[in-house]
Amino acid sequence: MPGGQVPVAPRTVLVAGAGGAGRTAVACALAARGAAAGRRVLLISIGRVADPLTATPAAGYDHVHLNPIRLLADWWERTARAVAASRPMRGDGEPPGFDPFVLEPPEITGLADAEHLLTLAAVHRYATGEGGYDDVLVDAPGFEHLAALLTAPATVAAYLERVWPRHVRLSGPATDGPATGALAGLILAERLTVLAEQLAAFVGDRDALRLLYVLVADGGRIPRARSELAALEVLGLRPAAIVLNRVLRADSRFAHDLPHPALQWFARRLADQEAALSGAAEFGAALARPVLTVDEAPAPLADAADAGRLDVSRPGGSDTESGGPAAGDVLSLLGSDDAAPPAVRHVGGTGLDARYEWTVELPLVDPATIGLGRVEEDVVIDAEGVRRRIRLPSVLRRCVVEGASYSDDALHVSFVPDPEVWPRGGA
């Protein structure tokens, strides 16, 4: 860059939420407002089929649609070429032994975790400066697919290391016989591992990748939103803000309690909305995150231009009225992540009598859903329908679990030294 300046990574935000919450509309609105504020904005949509709302992007920002199947086929073709250039051939010109790359790219119809990795890899390229954007907004898939997308890197890396450790892989395949086909598996596994580890670090960096959670202003959706936000907590993916979409504004100049079906419907909708506003405020307080609102559109949204006119603001008015940022720069409301990472403390005792407590913040999580497991140096937390594997601090890897409890919105796990591996004279 001119003057030796270091390029600044763009703000990358995943707009997430339950199906029907209006994620795509909110993503388009944020993209339009950012562009109106003079920022270079990219909107990324994901899926095998593009949403009609993003098919014709509004003027002012760029749009890229990521088709996971297309990404997988392209990656498979590149990797197959690398394998073909590296492996030995039999006398009849055929590769020996195991060979996953006999599959041609057009035959590839899906490979779930690989699709997730490659989709994230494409997002990561833009998030690290490709294209020179100031903001990268990702219209994320629904919750279940989002959870799979964001956990795939750590899952794939852990599985590969568990079933085929790197030191074993890199010891080298056999040089003759059917086992030479293991070279194809080696190249495939190594490429997936390197990619998975890189993307796991990207997903885990809350300053590099932030989430907005969108829910509709309907009190009936609050239980579902609570469950999804709690599951995100278990996965270590706390949203940077909560967006309450489709908020109705009541005009106090008119009576709303007259016995007319339309007014009765409107009154019920306002009552449901109050429950949603209360629930969103509760979530924001529990997670220490701001709550933004988007007003109900005056007419159905036909295209991205319509969505771009939606107003995203703090509850109670526009950004400028509520002391927020200048119009367009709503994303400046999203500060750095301040959620405490899992922490260990020495409770007391020395040697084999030492006691340690490991704490993981889990606000909104129903403690009745929590289960714990131990796999070598990791603890597996199972709660709210999802599972997260966390590497323990070094001191706890030589300990065993004594007990666990949930209080003050956190999981507390007690550890004691394992006599078989605890060093003699250790603290």
| 359 and 245 in a common domain | no
Q: Is 423 exposed, middle or buried (0-12, 13-18, 19+ CB in 10 A)?
A: exposed
pLDDT in tens, 287-333: 999 899 999 998 889 888 888 888 888 765 444 444 444 444 667 76
Please indicate, yes or no, if residue 423 is contained in any of the structural domains.
no
Please indicate, yes or no, if residue 425 is contained in any of the structural domains.
no
Q: Is it the case that residue 176 has pLDDT exceeding 60?
A: no
| 406 and 304 in a common domain | no
Question: pLDDT class for 184, splitting at 50, 70, 90?
Answer: low
CATH number at residue 373: 2.60.40.790
Domain end position, chosen among 317, 336, 355:
336
| 357 and 314 in a common domain | no
| 371 and 233 in a common domain | no
- What integer pLDDT is reported at residue 8 of this predicted model? 66
- CA 82, CA 109: separation in Å to the nearest integer? 21
Mean pLDDT confidence for 254-271: 79
Pick from 108, 112, 102: which is nearest to 70 by CA?
A: 108
Q: Is it the case that residue 42 has pLDDT exceeding 90?
A: yes
pLDDT in tens, 80-123: 777 676 655 545 555 555 566 666 666 666 567 888 999 999 99
| 159 and 187 in a common domain | yes
CATH number at residue 98: 3.40.50.300
Please indicate, yes or no, if residue 422 is contained in any of the structural domains.
no
Question: pLDDT class for 342, splitting at 50, 70, 90?
Answer: very high
| 40 and 153 in a common domain | yes
pLDDT in tens, 48-89: 888 888 877 677 899 999 999 999 888 888 877 776 766 555
| 349 and 310 in a common domain | no
- What integer pLDDT is reported at residue 46 of this predicted model? 93
Query: Over the Cα atoms of the chain, what is R_g?
Result: 25
| 355 and 270 in a common domain | no
Question: pLDDT class for 206, splitting at 50, 70, 90?
Answer: confident
Question: pLDDT class for 175, splitting at 50, 70, 90?
Answer: very low
Which of 81-90, 162-171, 234-243 is the least confident region? 81-90
Please indicate, yes or no, if residue 196 is contained in any of the structural domains.
yes
Q: Is it the case that residue 1 has pLDDT exceeding 50?
A: no
pLDDT in tens, 360-417: 999 999 999 999 999 888 999 999 999 998 999 999 999 999 999 999 999 999 999 9
Mean pLDDT confidence for 279-294: 92
Question: pLDDT class for 180, splitting at 50, 70, 90?
Answer: very low
Question: Which distant-in-sequence residues (6+ apart) come within 8 Å of 265 by Cβ?
Answer: none
Domain end position, chosen among 336, 367, 383:
336
| DSSP code at position 265 | H
The structure tokens listed for 243 are 């967006």
Tally the domains of the chain. Answer: 2
What domain range includes position 95? 1-336
Please indicate, yes or no, if residue 138 is contained in any of the structural domains.
yes
| 129 and 80 in a common domain | yes
| 27 and 65 in a common domain | yes
Q: At what angle do helices 261-287 and 222-234 cross, to 10 degrees?
A: 20
Tell how strand 135-139 and strand 210-216 pair up: unpaired
Please indicate, yes or no, if residue 35 is contained in any of the structural domains.
yes
Tell how strand 355-361 and strand 410-417 pair up: antiparallel
pLDDT in tens, 189-205: 888 888 899 999 999 88
| 367 and 258 in a common domain | no
| 234 and 372 in a common domain | no
Please indicate, yes or no, if residue 179 is contained in any of the structural domains.
yes
- What integer pLDDT is reported at residue 426 of this predicted model? 57
**Mean pLDDT across the chain:** 83
Domain end position, chosen among 336, 359, 391:
336
Q: Is it the case that residue 34 has pLDDT exceeding 80?
A: yes
